[in-house]
Amino acid sequence: MVTTARPAIGVLALQGGVAEHLAALERSGAEARPVRRPEELAAVDGLVLPGGESTAMTRLLDSSGLREPLEDRLASGMPAFGSCAGMVLLARDVVDGQEEAGGQPAVRPFGALDVIVRRNAFGRQVDSFETELEFAGLGPVHAVFIRAPWVDKTGDGVEVLARVPEAPDGAGQQEAAGRIVAVQQGPVLAVAFHPELVSGGERVHRHFVQIVRAH
């Protein structure tokens, strides 16, 4: 039986596209809450890690005191949804752009998804593009890519939900064709694009709300 309960879903509100995700979650049947402190994280059933700048988000996770509580929640099976930089932070490993900062990698992912993600794989801001993706279980999804990552490698148990089509509209990058841009492993979902920026395109958010309800 499909439940219609309104789960409390947080959006990591340290940096990036927070307001857009909050609005999309509300439209998708969740009680959406910004999460900036450990006590706010403890009060939600699932968490969205939004797009933004993954090195800045890594620093802010440390300074806010959220890193260890979030590691614990993810390890205990909390549903999570990462978009763009959020995908980078949920990965097991990250390649490209991981410059050392103070003796540590500039991006320190949580390892909630058994994937290797290539940061800024599609290029710079000027290389941003939009295209239609065939998303498993959801059908065609309009996707906006902005300095986006892609998945280089998936481990056992990771379901590939979407790839860039053979001729991405406006991308101008032959190497982009066929790249993995949406994955799911258990209650953890990640996409390389920005579903929160597409008007009326809450199907990915609704999919995550259903993941949280089922969990």
Distance (Å, whole) CA 202 – CA 197: 9
Q: Is residue 52 part of an annotated ligand binding site?
A: yes
Q: Which residues pair with 128 in a beta bridge?
A: none
Q: Is residue 180 part of an annotated ligand binding site?
A: no
Distance (Å, whole) CA 161 – CA 90: 16
Q: Is residue 119 part of an annotated ligand binding site?
A: yes
Distance (Å, whole) CA 78 – CA 132: 30
- Catalytic (active-site) positions: 84, 194, 196
**DSSP structure string for 7-53:** -EEEEE-SSSSHHHHHHHHHHTT-EEEEE-SHHHHHT-SEEEE-SS-
Q: Are 62 and 32 in contact (CB under 8 A)?
A: no
Q: Binding site residues, as ranges?
A: 52-54, 119, 146-147
Q: Binding site residues for L-glutamine, as ranges?
A: 52-54, 119, 146-147
